[in-house]
Each structure stands twice: as structure tokens, then as C-alpha cells.
Amino acid sequence: MKNIITLCALLLLAITSTIAYGQTNRTKVVKFKRGTSGATYKDAVIRGETMTYVLGARKGQTMEVKISALENNAVFQIKDKRTGKYLSGAAEGEDARKWKGKLPSSGDYQIVVGGTRGNASFTISFEIK
């Protein structure tokens, strides 16, 4: 009986931890105002948290992403949601602050923002031509 109670307690702890972790990673869809080719957002992430921006674009378009933070501690990676691959210059471990390039495919791209140390308040801009 004691083993069953211990097992239940561990399962409850695991489920609670998973739910809490999932709530720290937020997502926003990037929207451009009518007649414009870009958008800018101000946001913040706390240590260990990420903010994912989702942006739809077409193959061959040029996308530019820039991020700035008061303490220079916000970075991003760009992932092609359709292929699951990161874009060169903004891949995992490359910690980009600025990226510009032609998009390899049509569909959604995920721009994942995180902090390099501590909490990060940032401004991020997107432009597509």
C-alpha cells in the first residue's frame, strides 16, 4: 500500500511539473498591418522561458528579423515549421540577434526568442519583401 501511495505521489508530481513547464513557453502569430511589410513587438522572457513568434511567408521572399535588448541578452533561432529544419545563421546554438535571407519554402516559420542570461526585455522586428 505504501508503494502505491508513493507511486501516485510521484506521478502527480511529474504531471504537475510538465503542466507548469508547458506554460512558460508562449506563442504569438505575427500580423502585419494592411499595406505594410513588417511588424515590431515588445515583450519579455524570464530565465528558462521562450517566446515563439509564428510568421507565414512564401518561398523566395526575403525575411529580416532583428532583436534588441537593453542588456543585449535576447537571441532567437528560426525554424521552418514545414521541414523542421533551422535556417543557417539562426539555428540552434547560433543565437542570432539579426538575420536576413531568402526563405527556402512556403509556409510558417517559428522565431524562438530566449534570454542568454537572466530575464530579457526585448524589441523584435520582422520584415518580409
Q: Any idea what the CATH number is for the domain that residue 104 is in?
A: 2.60.120.380
Query: What's the rounded Cα separation, in Å, for the pair 37 and 15?
Result: 42
Q: Is residue 110 part of a domain?
A: yes
Q: Is residue 9 part of a domain?
A: no
Q: Is residue 4 part of a domain?
A: no
Given a cut of 80, is residue 26 above it in pLDDT? Answer: yes
Q: Is residue 94 part of a domain?
A: yes
Q: Is residue 70 part of a domain?
A: yes
Please tell me the total count of domains within the chain.
1
Q: Is residue 42 part of a domain?
A: yes
Query: What's the rounded Cα separation, in Å, for the pair 68 and 47?
Result: 17
Query: What's the rounded Cα separation, in Å, for the pair 10 and 17?
Result: 11
Q: What's the pLDDT tens digit per position in 46-74?
A: 999 999 999 999 999 999 999 999 999 99
Given a cut of 70, is residue 17 above it in pLDDT? Answer: no
Q: Is residue 15 part of a domain?
A: no
pTM, whole model, 2 decimals?
A: 0.79
Q: Is residue 87 part of a domain?
A: yes
Range of the domain at 49: 26-128
Q: Label residue 3 by pLDDT band (50, 70, 90).
A: low
Nearest CA-CA partner of 129 in 53, 36, 41: 36
